[in-house]
Amino acid sequence: MRPEELYKERAVKLIAFSVGKRSFPIADAINASGMGHSEFLANAKSIYANGCDLKEDASLHEIRDWHLKPEALFSYIGLKEFEHSIKSARDAKVIAIISIIISGLLAIASIFASIATN
């Protein structure tokens, strides 16, 4: 699975939203992730350290402090590193191809130069 596909996952969207903000209402997290209320509550228990305190009747507009569990945060960081490594590999591939082309052109120019001097 490619990183672009993983970012479409609602749980990943929720973690990405939470990394940028510490305090927010449930309604903002639901809007950012595209989850429903019950899906948010189920995911909150595995993503947030204080997610187990949530009840079904939790207010959507009450601003709370959210603390990501270390495993959720490190998984997100791992995804970002994976994304960066793919981009770096693509950049390295382009640089290698350009280097091969330039080397080939220089080799051909060297052959023609040696023929011209003879």
Per-residue confidence (pLDDT) for residue 3, from 0 to 100: 65
Angle ∠(85,90,95) on CA atoms, nearest 5: 120
Q: Residue 85 pLDDT more than 80?
A: yes
DSSP SS3 for 24: strand
Q: What are 38-66's pLDDT values in tens digits?
A: 899 889 989 999 877 777 777 888 888 89
Per-residue confidence (pLDDT) for residue 38, from 0 to 100: 87
Q: Residue 88 pLDDT more than 90?
A: yes
Q: Residue 96 pLDDT more than 90?
A: yes
Per-residue confidence (pLDDT) for residue 4, from 0 to 100: 67
Total number of residues shown for the chain: 118
Domain boundaries, the chain: 3-86
Estimate to the nearest angstrom the gap between the alpha carbon of 112 and the chain centroid. 49
Helix or strand run (H / E) with residue 98: helix 70-117
Mean pLDDT of 65-80: 92
Q: Residue 94 pLDDT more than 70?
A: yes
Nearest to 81 by CA among 93, 92, 89, 69: 89
